[in-house]
């Protein structure tokens, strides 16, 4: 009888996949990323431009939103809707002294396929953080292990990695009640704008250019965002700061470089805005980090 896949197996596979030097971004893994902290870290107002699935491979993660809390232990998994702001706390494990998580991105076409499959768990009547949790079992761990093996051995095979990622996400969708919330968030104007800006956060985006790329008028775009309780300036600021956070969490980017790559001319101004938004400075993030793959 084959040996069951353990969380430690997945952590070792991730370490192996991350051993290759990253050219840019949070890690060298295509389609996915990783966060590794050697000290307890707390951040406010964290969000992703697109929906993500997060697997905790070492330590634990605390999510806080609107008076609710969700603790995800080692081996746990959750889905996070795009544009959904939460407070997080990454807690290293007492035995290893580190926190390690694997992050998988979901694009709109992937979500559409999952939603149309109709095999997701029933959604609760009202949103709650607990609904974001994914029930991890052996088939899902096997799929995660396969993805990491392929990322380590065939890093340039984008089509193959996309198929492996779909395998993971299909199994995850069947084991969570959050898919309707994730799908709804992905179709909002704010998240559509965020996905666009996240491709090049350092670009001098204007509302007119964003509207043209999204196939609408500037006036309509501003009206739609206002109806969702946000604005172009807010989307730009949020995406740029979270993109900078991703770069800093990768452990290979300086504060000045992260600022420049995310549209800030002044590193000191960037640091002040970063601290105001997340409740921690860029230097605080760097001090908590381990370089991915080490």
| pLDDT digits 0-9 by tens, 234-271 | 999 999 999 999 899 877 789 999 999 999 999 999 99
- Per DSSP, the three-state class of 261 is helix
Instruction: Output the pLDDT for position 28.
Output: 46
What fold does the segment set 7-288 form as a domain?
A: Arc Repressor Mutant, subunit A (1.10.10)
Cα of first residue to Cα of last residue in the chain, in angstroms, is 33
Of the pLDDT bands very low, low, confident and very high (cuts 50, 70, 90), residue 116 is confident
Residue 294 has pLDDT above 50, yes or no: no
Helix boundaries (H) for the chain? 7-17, 108-117, 138-153, 158-173, 179-186, 189-199, 207-213, 218-227, 232-249, 255-261, 267-278, 282-288
Helices 108-117 and 158-173 meet at what angle, rounded to 10?
A: 40
User: In this predicted structure, what is the pLDDT of residue 154?
Assistant: 84
Q: Are 198 and 243 in contact (CB under 8 A)?
A: yes
In this prediction, residue 26 carries a pLDDT of 41
Residue 272 vs residue 179, higher pLDDT: 272
Asked if 50 and 105 count as a contact pair (C-beta separation under 8 A), the reply is: yes
Q: Is the dihedral of CA 37, 279, 105, 263 positive or negative?
A: negative
| CB contact set of 234 (below 8 Å; sequence gap of 6+) | none
């Amino acid at each position: 009888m084959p040996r069951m896949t353990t969380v430690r197996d997945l952590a070792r596979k991730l370490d192996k996949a991350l051993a290759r030097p990253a050219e840019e971004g949070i890690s060298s893994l295509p389609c996915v990323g990783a966060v590794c902290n050697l000290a307890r870290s707390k951040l406010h107002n964290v969000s992703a431009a697109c929906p993500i699935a997060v697997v905790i491979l070492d330590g634990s993660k605390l999510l806080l939103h609107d008076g609710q809390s969700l603790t995800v232990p080692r081996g746990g998994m959750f889905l996070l809707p795009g544009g959904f702001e939460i407070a997080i706390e990454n807690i290293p494990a007492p035995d290893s002294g580190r926190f390690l998580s694997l992050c998988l991105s979901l694009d709109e076409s992937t979500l559409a396929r999952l939603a149309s499959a109709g095999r997701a768990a029933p959604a609760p009547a009202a949103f709650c953080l607990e609904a974001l949790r994914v029930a991890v079992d052996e088939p899902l761990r096997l799929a995660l292990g396969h993805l990491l093996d392929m990322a380590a051995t065939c890093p340039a095979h984008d089509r193959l990695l996309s198929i492996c990622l779909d395998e993971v996400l299909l199994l995850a969708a069947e084991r969570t009640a959050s898919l309707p919330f994730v799908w709804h968030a992905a179709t909002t104007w704010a998240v559509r704008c965020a996905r666009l800006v996240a491709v090049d956060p350092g670009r001098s985006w204007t509302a007119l250019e964003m509207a043209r790329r999204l196939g609408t008028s500037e006036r309509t775009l501003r009206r739609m965002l206002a109806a969702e309780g946000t604005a172009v300036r807010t989307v730009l600021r949020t995406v740029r700061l979270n993109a900078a956070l991703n770069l800093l969490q990768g452990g290979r980017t300086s504060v000045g470089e992260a600022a420049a790559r995310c549209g800030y001319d002044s590193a000191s101004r960037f640091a002040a805005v970063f601290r105001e938004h997340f409740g921690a400075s860029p230097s605080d993030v760097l001090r908590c980090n381990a370089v991915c793959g080490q």
